Structure 1
Amino acid sequence: MSSRNEKLLDPNETFSALCTTVGLDIRLRKAVSRLGHVRPTLVQSKALPLAITSGKDLLVRARTGSGKTLAYCLPVLHKILEKKGGDNVNEEEEGDDEGGNIRAVILVPTRELSTQVQKTLLSLTYYCRDDVKVAVLSSSSGGGKGSGKRGDVAAAQQEAMLRDRPDVIVSTPAGLLHHIRNGTLKKLKTSVESLVVDEADLILSFGYSNDVTEIMKSLPKIFQGYLMSATLSDELQSLKRVILHSPAVLKLEEEDELNANSSSKAALSQFYLTIPKKDKNIVLYVFLKLGLLKGKGLFFVNTTDGGYRLKLFLEQFHIRSAVLNAELPLRSRLNIIEQFNIGNFDYLIATDESTDVNSSKKDGDDDDEGGNKKSHNKKRKRGSKKDSEYGVSRGLDFRGVSFVVNVDFPPNSKSYTHRIGRTARGGASGVALSLVEAESEEQLEALQQVQESQPPLPSGSVGVGGGGPSNGDLRTATGDDEDMSEDEEGKQSDKSQFLAQPSPLEFDLNELEGFRYRVEDVSRAVTKVAVRETRAAELRAEILNSDRLSSHFEENPSDLQLLQHDRQATHVSKIQDHLKNVPKYMLPRGMQVAATRKRRRKKVRRNDSSRNNNSDPLQSYDAGGVTLDGVAGGVTLDGVASGADNNDYDPETADAEFFDDGSGDGGTPKEAKEKRIFMDTSDGTGKSASGRNAWKEKRNKGKFSRSSKKGRGKL
């Protein structure tokens, strides 16, 4: 819990004290302690007493990562355990296969989020799994051709789960409504005691308002309701009147957090970069390769093709990533999310077409059209091949996301808020970077709407993540100071103290020109054919790995052989090894990564520093008792003595001169022959033919160093 920011936690409360105060079941207390929760968030510390002690309905408005899931799971489970503890005898009589035992219904917008909520419930019921059972329902069909058989199998599996008499159902509105219409949940009207609508604003944006209204007809009139949302709208207020009864409203305002923590830097740093559309790949390549964006990241695009184009582009530079889109089966999407969370790859490209692109271009369009337009959109999505219950921008738990990049700018402020909520969760720091196309007027208008919807930050707090604007960059003063009134000057000074979010990123695009040729050359390999074949290859891999189709392949081996052949014959763009690293000559000034100095291997000195000169034949010469008597006689050395005639040569004189050591003492030639021949040096050992002693003497090393000379001088 040390990594959490204090602004999300309640500094005056601990989980153990809070659980004791509200009287939470001891098994749930142990589970919370097992999960490592020490301090509750502000939402949890306010919601638990109201829900458990007072039994009130709750409308909670707080941003993602504030602990809303635990705030409603604990009261729901506590109520079930308390009820079962009081009437265990009647439990077997009331339970049947038509939903008579279901005590809580949790509605979520997407199938991925339903799986995540199920995991949270299972972790909280670690010590009472025999008493509380959880089931997950979803729509039996994801749309598209050939989905009828799959839908029948999914429906049969879910009906089998309902026969196990679960206490809690986690479902999408479409999935729950499907079973209600089929008659498998006839007795919900007499058994349900709690209803939770999680991410209510996203459920409405998915077009589930009519479904929720129809579900309410199958539920009892009196129950405890929970409405969780990150935003409040007029449509949400109408839903509140349908679900909740005299609710307690909890709001965790971003502005209050800003005022309370104005002296500290914001946990989420938001930036935008206005660039031409063709330069998006260059910016992404430089920011990733040069370490300007570090850690795990999410890249949001508006189309599936755009996601695969980005994936193929990053693969050319040996950057691993994965694409999460609605065309993949649910299990594959969950597996991709799990692989991302455990760190098998650091970059995830998410497409959220059903949430962002199909939503209205402007913020006000949702409220004008109402639920009819959204219902029509939902029906249109169901006829497509994509999963109508897919969604990734909100609710899912992506662990350790350090940054979010909006490669395609979202069309409205609501989509922007949903996307950037994937980072800086639980009080951790994060960076959100949005790429805005300079030639797109729609994106520039959407950027202005986003800046108006996001709370501003103090000018001194920008710069987290490496490069916010200076304090005076976004000042709005346009007139002369002399013409301003005192009131206008006061308002202008207040505005100048804050910066709109997201703020412009100070970055010189001219520094990227050195990378242009490399990036554009690689981008040419990412063609429509490559994208189409990559998507087809993923679908073939899903078919080959499908457990449901294994029996079909056993009966029809020719189909399996054709798929395997197509998989091997699929054209894959060649990845060049030299593109893995960035050459030093391409690095611009100010963006060079600090070079790591290699440590030199320390030379190991031998213990005996003195050289063994006796083994070097060039250091000494011993005549070995051999004389030149009898050899000199009759032997002439013509031309050896320069300028001397052959007749003047005297063997004895020549021998004496040859063996003369230059000391002036004559000595006999015989004594000189038995002497060792050394050159005149300071130590009397002679100069090495390899020049080692000369090198040491020139550089004052070894025995020629100053310390050695001082030692010899003292002696």
Structure 2
Amino acid sequence: MAAIEKKMIAGTDKAETPTFAELDLCPELVAACDAMKWTKPTKIQEEAIPYALQGRDLIALAQTGSGKTAAFALPIMQALLEHRMPFFACVLSPTRELAIQIADQFQDLGKGIGVVCSVLVGGVDRMQQVISLTKRPHIVVGTPGRLLDHLRDTKGFSLNKIKYLVIDEADKLLNDEFETSLDDILQIIPKERKTFLFSATMTKKVEKLQRACLRNPVMVKVGSKYSTVDTLKQEFYFVPAKHKDCYLVHVLSKMPDKMIMIFVRTCESTRLLALMLRNLGFNAISISGQMSQDKRLGALNRFKGKECKIVVCTDVASRGLDIQGVDLVINYDFPLNSKDYVHRVGRTARAGESGRAISLVNQYEAPWFKLVEGQLGKVICPCVADKDEIEIHENSVANSKSIALRSLKESGGFKKRKRTGDY
């Protein structure tokens, strides 16, 4: 593989951001951007789209909420307009929700030009997906496991003439969890294609990039390897482990009527914490990989529609999801690495808006916190709570958690999750 051409963009190289028309997008797509109320390209769109239109393979790294989906969708649709054909492009995503969101954006941008998409993810009836494939969609978006199933078993479905492959959240899809499925897909589809790798974070996995068959790629990098947007206010409480729930309730009580995402480490914790919060009068729901796809999407839509203002979730909700209006992200369980931290806090302060992230760090999580802080290259501001304000919650929190735990045990709510490589 040829050496990767790298373009590091600091964000201030150009005095004025060009328009979408000045990026050489066709009038139909410029009109689509206007309909989406996008006035100017984001930095990653400004830098990546011209290379994509030139036919270059891309490795594009940018912060969460920076408009990466449009940066690959727009060039693909422009090429589709020039050579309209079924199964023109395939987009791979690590999570079902992100795959659905990507397909929605293709559909929204492609309304005026008749773009047809098919979504292939687990947890959904396969026959419905087979029917959607018989319509010969232009764009196929899916998770690796389910896409591979259809490539092997669905009669008449093939990607042997595919022109574009997008690996979104590439750092996740290049991990061992998806390695076998991804390698099998790359063996099936033709090597003569354009390949885009997009992510907010990526480590140097040169051998795996070579297996992805990039040809003469250019790397467009907006910001540092681990970075968060300037409009995000980041804070932390150093809390005793036994009082973490009290600190959580303290923070939530200070922010009524705000849209809040609370990240925890396990599926069991999402259910327990959400039930505990409901017992305390908070309007909270949970999302985790153990839920059926219908329930996950239902919960996500209730949160997006502000029917429920608090969602307790695992990292299944940290990758790529664009939820408008999230005011606060809380790290109830601090993440084990910087990549997960960046993706979690990226659910707020999106597209130039402001946002806030608060981490509850106990004595056991302090080493991870210092590591993340060092890799971010910034000091996260400490917060101090009045001891009396914390203690006032102790009895109610303990009782509510006890009731929640008993309820879950009686209903068989704690189940072990089988790892499948498809969240």
**Normalization by structure 2: what TM-score?**
0.88
Residue 64 (structure 1) shift: 0.9
Residue 525 (structure 1) shift: 4.1
AA in 2 matched with 1:78:
Q
Percent identical pairs in the alignment equals 30
Q: Specify the SS of the correspondent of 2:205.
A: helix
Task: Name which of 306, 330, 333 aligns with 2:269.
Answer: 306
Does the 8 A contact of 1:322 with 1:348 survive in 2? yes
Deviations 1:343-368 (A, max 9, x none): 1121111023xxxxxxxxxxxxxxxx
- Equivalent residue number for residue 57 of structure 1: 57
| Cα 1:288/1:528, change in 2 over 3 Å | closer
Gaps of 5+ in 2: 1-10, 415-423
AA in 2 matched with 1:13:
T
Does the 8 A contact of 1:10 with 1:40 survive in 2? no
| Cα separation, 1, equivalents of 2:17 and 2:136 | 37
Residue 243 (structure 1) shift: 2.9
- Equivalent residue number for residue 115 of structure 1: 100
- Equivalent residue number for residue 41 of structure 1: 42
Which residues in structure 2 correspond to 1:187-266 (within 5 Å)?
187-189=158-160, 191-205=161-175, 207-235=177-205, 238-240=208-210, 242-254=212-224, 266=230
| Cα separation, 2, equivalents of 1:236 and 1:294 | 46
Residue 301 (structure 1) shift: 1.1
Does the 8 A contact of 2:237 with 2:382 survive in 1? yes
Which residues in structure 2 correspond to 1:116-195 (within 5 Å)?
116-129=101-114, 132-139=115-122, 154-182=125-153, 184=155, 187-189=158-160, 191-195=161-165
1:523 correspondence with 2:400: yes
| Cα 1:42/1:9, change in 2 over 3 Å | farther
| Cα separation, 1, equivalents of 2:166 and 2:331 | 31
Residue 503 (structure 1) shift: 3.3
| Cα separation, 1, equivalents of 2:100 and 2:343 | 19
Does the 8 A contact of 1:411 with 1:446 survive in 2? yes
| Cα separation, 2, equivalents of 1:257 and 1:418 | 10
Q: Specify the SS of the correspondent of 1:15.
A: coil
1:30 correspondence with 2:31: yes
Does the 8 A contact of 1:297 with 1:347 survive in 2? yes
- Equivalent residue number for residue 148 of structure 1: none
AA in 2 matched with 1:224:
K
| Cα separation, 2, equivalents of 1:394 and 1:16 | 26
| Cα separation, 2, equivalents of 1:37 and 1:115 | 21
Residue 532 (structure 1) shift: 3.4
Which residues in structure 2 correspond to 1:553-568 (within 5 Å)?
none
- Equivalent residue number for residue 326 of structure 1: 289
| Cα 1:8/1:257, change in 2 over 3 Å | farther
- Equivalent residue number for residue 405 of structure 1: 330
Task: Name which of 532, 537, 540 aligns with 2:409.
Answer: 532
Does the 8 A contact of 1:10 with 1:45 survive in 2? no
Residue 404 (structure 1) shift: 0.7
| Cα 1:294/1:25, change in 2 over 3 Å | same
1:349 correspondence with 2:312: yes
| Cα separation, 2, equivalents of 1:230 and 1:513 | 36
- Equivalent residue number for residue 66 of structure 1: 66
Residue 309 (structure 1) shift: 2.4
- Equivalent residue number for residue 454 of structure 1: 376
Q: Specify the SS of the correspondent of 1:196.
A: strand
Does the 8 A contact of 2:174 with 2:208 survive in 1? no
Deviations 1:356-388 (A, max 9, x none): xxxxxxxxxxxxxxxxxxxxxxxxxxxxxxxxx
Which residues in structure 2 correspond to 1:645-656 (within 5 Å)?
none
- Equivalent residue number for residue 17 of structure 1: 21
Does the 8 A contact of 2:166 with 2:197 survive in 1? yes
1:285 correspondence with 2:207: no
Which residues in structure 2 correspond to 1:387-426 (within 5 Å)?
391-426=316-351
| Cα separation, 2, equivalents of 1:328 and 1:236 | 35
Alignment length, in residue pairs?
Answer: 405
Does the 8 A contact of 2:319 with 2:343 survive in 1? yes
| Cα 1:252/1:241, change in 2 over 3 Å | farther
| Cα separation, 2, equivalents of 1:114 and 1:451 | 31
Does the 8 A contact of 2:280 with 2:396 survive in 1? no
Does the 8 A contact of 1:59 with 1:247 survive in 2? yes
| Cα separation, 2, equivalents of 1:13 and 1:516 | 50
- Equivalent residue number for residue 608 of structure 1: none
Answer with 1 or 2: which has the greater Rg.
1
Which residues in structure 2 correspond to 1:563-602 (within 5 Å)?
none
Does the 8 A contact of 1:51 with 1:58 survive in 2? yes
| Cα 1:276/1:11, change in 2 over 3 Å | same
Which residues in structure 2 correspond to 1:494-513 (within 5 Å)?
500=379, 502-505=380-383, 507-512=384-389
| Cα separation, 1, equivalents of 2:183 and 2:203 | 17
Deviations 1:219-251 (A, max 9, x none): 222111111012221336632553310111100
**Normalization by structure 1: what TM-score?**
0.53
Residue 528 (structure 1) shift: 2.6
Residue 127 (structure 1) shift: 0.8
AA in 2 matched with 1:55:
G
| Cα separation, 2, equivalents of 1:235 and 1:337 | 33
- Equivalent residue number for residue 421 of structure 2: none
Does the 8 A contact of 2:133 with 2:157 survive in 1? no
AA in 1 matched with 2:56:
K
| Cα separation, 2, equivalents of 1:256 and 1:281 | 29
| Cα separation, 1, equivalents of 2:394 and 2:59 | 55
| Cα 1:405/1:452, change in 2 over 3 Å | same
Greater RCO structure (CA 8 Å; 6+ sep): 2
- Equivalent residue number for residue 79 of structure 1: 79
Residue 138 (structure 1) shift: 2.1
| Cα 1:8/1:219, change in 2 over 3 Å | farther
Q: Which has the higher strand share?
A: 2
- Equivalent residue number for residue 4 of structure 2: none
| Cα 1:206/1:426, change in 2 over 3 Å | farther
Which residues in structure 2 correspond to 1:462-501 (within 5 Å)?
500=379
